């Protein structure tokens, strides 16, 4: 913004290099944005999000604009890998396509090293997110960012309605739910109190703030072990706590972890509390499940990596959800509601991976198109077009 507007000045401070500044401002999450020396916001933000926060009337105007839009043939809710793939496949069919998302890219924006995306040896999450949006924008897709869905109202007239927290709503003949997932929380005392004050969920984002300090990683799956490996190169010491009696990460990751001198692995450990001094984290308490003993680990940071929670609370009562809150889908991506499809991490599809979500989104779009051409309304329109062509 400062590059294009001479009235805006911007100073960027690397927290890993200027630790004294980080300590003085008590920065525990990056990026931390200050406006005229007062904390404006923290966490990753795009220009659209910053402008929306500055312009308090933006949400109301966007909601009003939604009400003027015609019904979509396919409306995709979510802008992650599944949503982007669904939008591309739907738009290529030449049908009216819209995408409404809270932030385009989704959880990929918080992922750094991606090394298992087939045909691309290595990339980074923010770069992939930009490429996803650029690809979707090559087609005539109506992209509506900063929109958080709040309700799905299945329509008896062949049109489904999706309502948003902004107060706006959209209607569509078919809907593809691709709302993804978020980091699962531990649900222990102190976690919420010290969120962004030592409790973090993105080791790639916030790891440099803990340079030379002691931290814990909770979770022994792939994400937890990868986090411990990454943090070991920055911090003084990493304690990895796993609830199970063994790590669940891939063996190649476990071998790397075992080679690191400043990492301690504690198995059969149930985290029970995050402690602090009122300002920031100063320790973590866990129970040894084999002995029942309670133990405390002095540290400055806790990185939670215990899996994902689907973003589906707003769908309860609208579509069938599994006991874990995932949207139940069949082999075609169909949900329990005709004309409503789902894809990606929010569904019962196993293995939450970027490449699987993309395939899921493509499949859902093809299924939605198949639904459109087989339903009575599009068929009637097709017959009208054929009659007009014969007359001409």
User: Which tokens in the block code for residue 158?
Assistant: 């062949």
Query: What is the distance between the alpha carbons of residues 82 and 85, in angstroms, rounded to a whole number?
Result: 5
Catalytic residue among 14, 23, 70, 202: 202
Cα angle, residue 112 at apex, residues 106 and 114 outer, rounded to 5°: 95
Question: What distance, in Å, lies between the first and last C-alpha atoms of the chain?
Answer: 54
Beta-bridged to residue 152, according to DSSP, are: 162
- Alpha carbons within 13 angstroms on the beta-carbon side of residue 178 total 39
Are the CB atoms for 239 and 216 separated by under 8 Å? yes
| Partners of 221 in the β-ladder | none
Question: What is the helix, strand, coil percentage profile of the chain, to 5?
Answer: 30, 25, 45
Question: Residue 176 in 3-state DSSP?
Answer: strand
Catalytic residue among 23, 37, 41, 206: 206
Residue 263 Cα to chain centre, angstroms: 28
| DSSP 8-class letter at 70 | P
Q: How far is CA 212 from CA 146, 192, 286, in A?
A: 37, 24, 23
- Active-site residue, 202 included: yes
Structure tokens at 225: 């072990």
- Cβ(80)–Cβ(357) under 8 Å? yes
CB burial of 41-54 (b: ≥16 within 10 Å; e: otherwise) equals eeeebeeebeebbe
- For the question of residue 345 being annotated catalytic, the response is no
- Active site annotation includes 110: no
Question: Which DSSP helix (H) or strand (E) runs through 341?
Answer: strand 340-342
Please name the residue ranges forming H helices in 121-277: 125-136, 203-206, 222-232, 251-258
Catalytic residue among 205, 230, 345, 360: 205
Distance CA 251, CA 193 (A): 35
Catalytically annotated residues: 202, 205-206
């Amino acid at each position: 913004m400062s590059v294009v507007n001479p009235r805006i000045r911007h100073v960027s401070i690397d927290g890993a290099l200027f630790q004294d500044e980080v300590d003085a401002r008590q920065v525990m999450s990056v990026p931390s944005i200050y406006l005229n020396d007062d904390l404006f916001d923290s966490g990753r933000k795009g220009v659209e999000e910053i402008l929306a926060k500055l312009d308090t009337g933006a949400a109301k105007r966007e909601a009003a604009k939604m009400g003027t839009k015609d019904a979509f043939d396919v409306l995709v809710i979510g802008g992650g890998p599944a949503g982007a793939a669904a939008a591309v496949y739907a738009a290529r069919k030449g049908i009216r396509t819209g995408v409404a998302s809270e932030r385009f890219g989704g959880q990929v924006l918080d992922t750094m090293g991606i090394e298992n995306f087939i045909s691309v040896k290595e990339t980074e999450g923010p770069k992939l997110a930009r490429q996803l949006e650029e690809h979707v924008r090559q087609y005539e897709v109506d992209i509506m960012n900063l929109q958080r869905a709040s309700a799905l109202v299945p329509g008896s007239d062949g049109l489904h309605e999706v309502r948003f927290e902004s107060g706006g709503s959209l209607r569509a003949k078919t809907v593809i739910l691709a709302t993804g997932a978020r980091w699962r929380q531990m649900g222990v005392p102190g976690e919420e109190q010290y969120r962004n004050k030592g409790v973090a969920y993105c080791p790639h984002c916030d790891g440099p703030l803990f340079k030379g300090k002691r931290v814990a990683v909770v979770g022994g799956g792939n994400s937890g072990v990868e986090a411990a490996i990454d943090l070991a190169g920055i911090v003084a010491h990493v304690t990895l706590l796993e609830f199970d009696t063994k790590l669940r990460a891939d063996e190649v990751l476990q071998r790397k972890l075992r080679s690191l001198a400043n990492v301690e692995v504690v198995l059969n450990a149930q985290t029970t509390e995050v402690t602090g001094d009122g300002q920031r984290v100063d320790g973590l308490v866990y129970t040894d499940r084999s002995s029942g003993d309670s133990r405390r680990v002095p540290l400055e940071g806790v990185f939670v990596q215990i899996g994902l929670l689907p973003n589906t609370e707003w769908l309860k009562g609208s579509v069938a959800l599994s006991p874990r809150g995932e949207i139940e889908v069949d082999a075609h991506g169909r949900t329990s509601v005709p004309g409503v499809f789902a894809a990606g991490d929010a569904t019962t599809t196993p293995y939450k991976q970027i490449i699987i979500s993309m395939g899921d989104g493509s499949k859902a779009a093809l299924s939605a198109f198949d639904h459109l051409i087989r339903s009575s309304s599009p068929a009637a329109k097709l017959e009208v077009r054929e009659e007009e062509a014969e007359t001409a």
